[in-house]
Amino acid sequence: MTQDLSSLIALGLFLLYALALSCVYRVLLTYRTAPGAIAWIMGLIGAPYVAVPLFLLFGRNRFTGYVRARRTGDQSLQPLFDRFESQPNTVLSPGDGEFSDDLKVFSRLARQPFTAGNHCTVLKDGEATFQALFDAMEKASHYILLEFYIIRSDRVGQRIKSILKRKLADGVKVWFLYDDIGSFSLSSKYLKELVAAGAQVASFGDGNVRRRRFQINFRNHRKLLICDGTVGFVGGINLGDEYLGTAMGQEPWRDTHCQIQGPAVLGLQLAWLEDWNWASNELPQLDWPLDAHPAGDQEALILPTGPADPHETCTLFFLNCINNARERVWIASPYFVPDLQIINALELAALRGVDVRILIPEKSDNQLIRMAAYSYLVQASRAGIGIYQYQQGFMHQKVVLVDDRYAAIGTANLDNRSMRLNFEITALSTAAAFVQDVDTMLTNDLQECRLMTARDYRDRSLLFRISCRAVRLLAPLL
């Protein structure tokens, strides 16, 4: 080996370890959990040639660009927040008086109040959801705001584009926001057609194109549609044929969305405005009909969560639901990889006599997450937590039901990505009719489920059990 080559190798190693140490420095300044920090530090020092690229892809745990944009944008949005909080429909003591403090926590996390005068409708499958979306867009007279994690160019996507182009021709304004990772297959032709028709189009990334190429965390996992500030939609359904059971080679998907009419729609609009401001650096002038006639008699709250929040808002949402349940807490999530504090909270709830049920899919679009879920079965069975596998296709809904007091439909899963990395959003209502609809829906889903037991894990091969435990170690990346 020549001296020049030796010097070059030495320089490369020096630079690699210098970069590794800078990553360690960042870990020490920003880590949220000690086990995760220790794992990163050991990897960065012991195998920097592997860990450094992984850290650049997955290691950042704060969406600093969005935080800066939020602070700037919120200066303009603050008057809207103030108007929203002081409107006649604001509810200061939501739900049952005995448990009102539990619900006030959600308001503080959301930075939004509960509002009265809403009507929330459970949309129990893709067909019902898409029909409601299409109808609302057709009736829009001023503007349409879309924000979806996945938008495809298939039949559903083409129908959406057709309606938007027609509404644009009628003078309705359209803002179209998509996630550039979730919608990676969306064709440039699709987007160019919308832009040519007059739509404002933006993608949700990291603001810096060069840096975004090397960072796949911090996805905008929200699925929203708002029309004229009076009707809005939120839930687990993206814009694709798979939700109709018509996508080639796909199992039928079971998912849930929620339609909202009333003042809570403006909570969705505030969340959308923050996201649009980050993606495009502009705040559109929209209608804010705060004094509009109530659409119903239901209390509701919109809870946006994400890595730009000062707290781990999504984690605290689930913990508050679980810790304050008195009779039952039922959670449907396609991705079940809870961290220690969530699984401990579920255990404590079950041990104090709460009916704890977790609905997960038997068939999944992520086999690693499916395997990780098996590793919790012994612990869950011992505590009395019921884990139910949905048998009729892929269950993708994200739903929470607490006692007979409130129910929530949104985009957040019981996994690390939703808790700490993704931008999510949830609609929560205390209305008896809404809670009953969710109860009936989940009860019907449970009839299509199989209760899993510890034997589902123990009776499998040693290789399978070791693989499940090994995959569980990757939970922060799943």
- Direct distance between the N- and C-terminal alpha carbons of the chain, in angstroms, rounded to an integer: 43
Buried b / exposed e over 22-44, threshold 16 CB at 10 Å, is ebbebbeeebebeebbeebbebb
Q: Which of 124, 161, 221, 257 is catalytic?
A: 221
**Helix, strand or coil, per DSSP, at residue 152:** coil
pLDDT band at 82 (very low <50, low <70, confident <90, very high): confident
- The percent of residues above 70 in pLDDT, for the chain, comes to 87
| Residue (of 464, 236, 244, 235) closest to 370 by Cα position | 464
Q: Which of 124, 161, 257, 396 is catalytic?
A: 396
> Can 396 be counted among the known catalytic residues?
yes
| Residue (of 198, 205, 155) closest to 176 by Cα position | 198
Q: Which tokens go with 414?
A: 């019981």
What is the DSSP secondary-structure string of 324-375? T-SSEEEEE-S-B---HHHHHHHHHHHHTT-EEEEEEESS-S-HHHHHHHHT
Q: Which of 102, 206, 228, 309 is catalytic?
A: 228
On the question of pLDDT at 54 being above 80, the answer is no
pLDDT of residue 3: 66
The H or E element that residue 138 is part of is helix 126-139
Q: Which residues pair with 202 in a beta bridge?
A: 177
Predicted confidence (pLDDT) per residue in 202-220, tens digit: 998 644 443 444 456 678 9
Name the amino acid, one letter, at 359.
L
Q: Which of 403, 415, 437, 445 is catalytic?
A: 403
- The percent of residues above 90 in pLDDT, for the chain, comes to 53
Name the amino acid, one letter, at 143.
Y
| Residue (of 473, 320, 280) closest to 405 by Cα position | 320
Mean pLDDT to the nearest integer, 68-86: 67
How many whole angstroms separate alpha carbon 427 and alpha carbon 411?
Answer: 9
249 φ, ψ (degrees, to nearest 5): 70, 15
Cβ distance 321 to 329 under 8 Å?
yes
Domains 64-104+115-301 and 313-477 share a fold: yes
Query: How far, in Å, are 113, 178, 242 from residue 248 at the CA level?
Result: 43, 23, 8
pLDDT of residue 429: 96
Q: Are strands 394-395 and 253-254 parallel, antiparallel or unpaired?
A: parallel
Query: Exposure of 82 by Cβ count < 10 A (0-12 exposed, 13-18 middle, 19+ buried)?
Result: exposed
- For domain 313-477, the CATH architecture is 2-Layer Sandwich (3.30)
66 φ, ψ (degrees, to nearest 5): -65, -35
Query: Exposure of 193 by Cβ count < 10 A (0-12 exposed, 13-18 middle, 19+ buried)?
Result: middle
How many whole angstroms separate alpha carbon 254 and alpha carbon 359?
Answer: 12
> Can 221 be counted among the known catalytic residues?
yes
Predicted confidence (pLDDT) per residue in 403-426, tens digit: 999 999 999 999 988 998 899 999
Q: Give the other-Cβ count within 10 Å of 236's Cβ.
A: 28
pLDDT of residue 369: 83
- pTM (predicted TM-score): 0.86
Query: How far, in Å, are 11, 18, 49, 403 from residue 45 at the CA level?
Result: 17, 10, 9, 48
On the question of pLDDT at 175 being above 90, the answer is yes
Name the amino acid, one letter, at 409.
I
pLDDT band at 97 (very low <50, low <70, confident <90, very high): confident
> Can 311 be counted among the known catalytic residues?
no
Q: Which of 161, 206, 398, 415 is catalytic?
A: 398
On the question of pLDDT at 308 being above 60, the answer is yes
> What integer best gives the mean pLDDT of the chain?
86
pLDDT of residue 214: 42
Mean pLDDT to the nearest integer, 116-142: 95
How many whole angstroms separate alpha carbon 478 and alpha carbon 476?
Answer: 6
Predicted confidence (pLDDT) per residue in 250-264, tens digit: 677 899 999 999 999
| Residue (of 311, 304, 322) closest to 414 by Cα position | 322
Residue spans per domain, the chain: 3-58, 64-104+115-301, 313-477
Q: Virtual CA dihedral for 436, 353, 337, 238, nearest 10 degrees?
A: 0
Q: Which of 119, 124, 161, 223 is catalytic?
A: 223
**Helix, strand or coil, per DSSP, at residue 426:** strand
Cβ distance 149 to 238 under 8 Å?
yes
CATH code matching the domain that covers 64-104+115-301, chosen among 3.30.870.10, 3.40.50.1820, 3.10.20.30, 3.40.605.10? 3.30.870.10
> Can 223 be counted among the known catalytic residues?
yes
Q: Which tokens go with 27?
A: 């870990």
Q: Which of 25-29, 66-70, 229-233 has the largest mean confidence?
A: 229-233
| Residue (of 407, 414, 393) closest to 440 by Cα position | 407
R_g of the chain, CA atoms, integer Å: 23
pLDDT band at 72 (very low <50, low <70, confident <90, very high): low
On the question of pLDDT at 79 being above 80, the answer is no
